[in-house]
Amino acid sequence: MTTLETGRIVGAGIDRVDAPLKVTGSAHYPNDFSLPGMVHAALVGSTIAAGRIRDIDVSRAEAAPGVLAVITHLTAPALERGPMTLLGGSPPAPMQDDRILHYGQHIAIVVAESAEQARHAARLVHVEYEAAKAVLDVDDPRAEIVENPWGLDTQRGDIAAGFAQADVVVEDIYTTPDNTNNPLGLMATLASWHGDALTVHDSTQWPHNVRTSLATIFKVPESGIRVLAPFVGGGFGAGLRVWSHVILTVMAARQVKRPVKLVLSRPEMFTSVGHRPNSVQQIKIGATRDGHLVAIEHYGMSSVAMEDDDYEPVSFGSAVAYACPNVLTRDRQARLNIPCPGSMRAPAEGQGNFALESAIDDVAHAVGMDPLEFRLRNYAEEHPLQGLPWSSKALRECYLEGAERFGWSRRTPEPGSMRDGRWLIGYGLAGVSYPFYQVPCQARASVRRDGSAYVHSAATDIGTGTYTVMTQLAAELLGLEVERVRFDLGDSDMPYAPQAGGSGLTGALSNAVHTACRRLVQEFLDVVANDTASPLRGAMLDDVTVTDGRIHRIEDVAQGESYADVLARHGLEELSADGRSTPPRSEDLGMALAGAFGAKFVEVRVDPALGLLRVARVVSAIDGGRILNEKTAASQIIGGTVGGISQAMFEETATDRGTGRIANATFGDYLMPVNADVPDMEVLFVGGPDRATAVGTKGVGEIGLVGLAAAIGNAVHHATGRRIRSLPITIDQLML
């Protein structure tokens, strides 16, 4: 049990253990909870993007039926700003002064007996503004520029000398728009105070962060706060921060001394819970005639809110993607009067990869080389910045096996050379890497007298399959059938877990569960260490294994006994053990820590007369380390693929440049793919366990999206000869 070996449960594509609850409607999401005496809240949003509140009249709202309170910046208590987190600073505390920093900013909260009464009263709040001219564009000379916001700018080699030796230089500007996360379930919060104790049901991807933040903001002991999120549904990053509406709901509940529930409307989702910021990227690549990269220069500019921070280093991926001796990456942010951006599935990489992999294709075309061969020729065998071998990297296999499955060899090189009747056919590919991310995590495992196991941690499952894969893993490590193991999550009273985001939860949590289960087996061995009735007397951990609910010696299956027998003989109801995972360090391992890698192959069809674009099929070849559940992992890649198609062809959050109002903040106006837009998709996993951790997993939550925009753009170029450098790809860009 020193390391996890492939077993009969781990890796199997079993059905989700939480599926029966979900399909029968028994899974309770934050919006499903209610409490005795509960009342409802509605928000009032600013109708200007910059300026001040000159006057706010709440008298009509306060007199409306059922209204209990109307809170504005004039009556709100002083609040601390939330703490620094693993993902950066907390958003500013709401309603602390009269300033307006973006359209839709929360400027009042109304509490009433019913949701309908609260919404009606919110419309009765009258506001007079002193408007200022908003800063809404990264090119606006009034925008404050933040240089190197995260200290991740890189430079190696001599950029000028690299370009001087290049036979081919490609330089262009790529742009990507704002996108909005838009999980199907509306974000909801239910808060209830009992003195200084607080219980919160929230649509969060990180219960412990909500607990810590609310303790800081409201100056109450963290030990008295409990945050519950057993089922969240989609999040795509929207639930990673403690947003204004959560704080206001908690504030309102404290004031009216009753439980308060707030459910955001769909338009409010566009201004309240973050979004993928837009980017403008200038990329310049030089190569020799024989196809070797000699210089890459990548500048990224993205938008950020006036008084907030957002982690979005769009250029950084170019520093580690290829074996190029001379590389410069620089990132900047422009402060605008916009809602706070935040993480959206594959933050930064989704934008940066589009520019890099599109430009790489242009360079390959310029030197007359097949795009796949060009990428293989510049393959980074070692980490380009650290000069260390990767803890795992099967990107080469992703390229080769993905190409074989896709039929890349059928591609003819000339743009516009493949047709099917009136349709132009294009093949495109993109190489993908996603950075390693893992933080400390804890879990607890118990075995009860009936031989069943209970394992828990304060993680969340946003549809990724955490319930299922952790149940499988614990079952494997304890030698139990899946049906004999229960895994629970989504409660801040459970052992600490980081956020479900950054493709880091499975790695952190699986290693914590691994440690907890290993220690639990040791606990059983300690109990029988001097037990003359036990065939395990004196056994060491490395002497035993577990099968069918029994611990037994490796060399003799008969020399063992069941968990239930040990507990019964010693009069114990259960034994428990805690496990903690600590992120590995490159300097300790002598290896560069590897995230997931992948290669995306896409076939598109373009009608040149009508400008119609159809994605016909996608093959995703993924190196995700050890795959704990092939079915849920493939589902993640498929979901990410749909998100990548959406980024490439549909999504654009449109802000009116005159007012700062989001003009398409409904599902009727914000375009996303439907079933007819989703093609045949294949997913294949290559490579093996990552060497950096005992379990050997790598996150696959975000690698599914990265690369699709570039692969589709590359396929469009192959089909039409037209290079698209601005997302989304629209009809007007394709009409020939």
- Between the CA of residue 328 and those of 173, 288, 298, 375, 430, what are the distances in Å? 16, 18, 6, 19, 21
End-to-end CA separation in angstroms for the chain: 62
pLDDT band at 26 (very low <50, low <70, confident <90, very high): very high
As to burial, measured by CB atoms within 10 angstroms (0-12 exposed, 13-18 middle, 19+ buried), residue 633 is: buried
The confidence score (pLDDT) of residue 233 equals 82
What is the spatial distance between Cα 136 and Cα 49, in angstroms, rounded to a whole number? Answer: 9
Is the pLDDT at 44 greater than 90, yes or no?
Answer: yes
My answer on whether omega of the bond before 65 falls inside 30° of 0, hence cis, is no
What is the spatial distance between Cα 118 and Cα 253, in angstroms, rounded to a whole number? Answer: 14
The confidence score (pLDDT) of residue 10 equals 87
Average pLDDT, the chain: 97
Which is higher by pLDDT, 467 or 5? 467
**CA 434 to chain centroid:** 11
In this structure, are residues 202 and 230 in contact, taking their beta carbons and an 8 Å threshold?
A: no
- Between the CA of residue 654 and those of 177, 274, 596, 657, what are the distances in Å? 8, 14, 32, 9
The confidence score (pLDDT) of residue 736 equals 67
The confidence score (pLDDT) of residue 6 equals 43
Identify whether 702 is a catalytic site residue.
Answer: yes
Count of all residues that appear for the chain in the document: 736
430: closest CA among 219, 718, 636?
A: 718
In this structure, are residues 660 and 136 in contact, taking their beta carbons and an 8 Å threshold?
A: yes
What is the spatial distance between Cα 481 and Cα 93, in angstroms, rounded to a whole number? Answer: 48
In this structure, are residues 509 and 457 in contact, taking their beta carbons and an 8 Å threshold?
A: yes
Q: Give SS3 for 24.
A: coil
Q: Give SS3 for 44.
A: strand
Q: What is the pLDDT of residues 666-677, one digit of tens each?
A: 999 999 999 999
Is the pLDDT at 114 greater than 70, yes or no?
Answer: yes
Q: What is the pLDDT of residues 591-602, one digit of tens each?
A: 999 999 999 999
Is the pLDDT at 497 greater than 50, yes or no?
Answer: yes
pTM, 2 dp = 0.97
Token representation of residue 63: 């007199």
The confidence score (pLDDT) of residue 698 equals 96
- Between the CA of residue 403 and those of 138, 370, 424, what are the distances in Å? 39, 12, 20
R_g of the chain computed on alpha carbons: 27
pLDDT band at 2 (very low <50, low <70, confident <90, very high): very low
Sequence-distant (≥ 6) Cβ neighbours of residue 348 within 8 angstroms: 311, 312, 313, 314, 316, 317
Q: What is the pLDDT of residues 631-662, one digit of tens each?
A: 999 999 999 999 999 999 999 999 999 999 99
Token representation of residue 25: 């409607």
Which residues, in sequence order, are bridge partners of residue 447?
453, 575
Is the pLDDT at 3 greater than 50, yes or no?
Answer: no
In this structure, are residues 304 and 310 in contact, taking their beta carbons and an 8 Å threshold?
A: yes
Q: What is the pLDDT of residues 333-391, one digit of tens each?
A: 999 999 999 999 999 999 999 999 999 999 999 999 999 999 999 999 999 999 999 99
Helices (runs of H) and strands (runs of E) counted in the chain: 17, 28
Is the pLDDT at 313 greater than 70, yes or no?
Answer: yes
Token representation of residue 660: 């700062």
Sequence-distant (≥ 6) Cβ neighbours of residue 189 within 8 angstroms: 30, 200, 201, 202, 203, 245, 246, 249, 250, 261, 262
Q: What average pLDDT does range 505-533 have in this prediction? A: 98
The confidence score (pLDDT) of residue 247 equals 98
Sequence-distant (≥ 6) Cβ neighbours of residue 404 within 8 angstroms: none
What is the spatial distance between Cα 207 and Cα 240, in angstroms, rounded to a whole number? Answer: 9
Consecutive H or E run containing 562: strand 556-562
**CA 121 to chain centroid:** 36
Which is higher by pLDDT, 142 or 233? 142
Q: What is the pLDDT of residues 676-727, one digit of tens each?
A: 999 999 999 999 999 999 999 999 999 999 999 999 999 999 999 999 999 9
3-state secondary structure 265-334: CHHHHHHHCCCECCEEEEEEEEECCCCCEEEEEEEEEEEEECCCCCCCCCCHHHHCCCCCCCEEEEEEEE
pLDDT band at 513 (very low <50, low <70, confident <90, very high): very high
